[in-house]
Amino acid sequence: MATTYKILGQAADDPDVVQTLYTVPAATQAVVSTITVANVTTGAADFNINIVPSGGSAGYTNILAKDVALAANDTTTLTLGLTLGAGDSIVVSSDAGETCFQAFGSEIS
């Protein structure tokens, strides 16, 4: 089995748009070490992160972070160690434009 350390996903969010930051490829497992969220607007933002099992959808049962406040022009870093299987996803959203999400970790295939 090979391990590849990489940027797993990067996304800039539109207000109130739910989008997939990363989906684990088939025949692969992933370890998500860090997720960063940067609010590059001049106003405060709230963000959400869901860890969605393969075939599922974002909802209350898979929330990792719900309505977390982030000040204007600020960044937060979540050091996690999440383990994901093939088809599992990280889904993100925020209530402000120009909120940027990044996921870092490794894929094992």
Query: Which CATH number covers residue 24?
Result: 2.60.120.340
Range of the domain at 58: 3-108
pTM of the complete model:
0.94
Exposure string for 40-76, b = 16+ CB within 10 A, e = fewer: ebeeebbbbbbbbeeeeebeeebebbeeeebeeeeee
Number of structural domains in the chain: 1
How does residue 14 score in pLDDT terms, banded at 50, 70 and 90? confident
Q: What is the predicted pLDDT for the residue at 98? A: 85
User: Which whole number is the average pLDDT over 25-44?
Assistant: 96
Of 97 and 92, more confident: 92
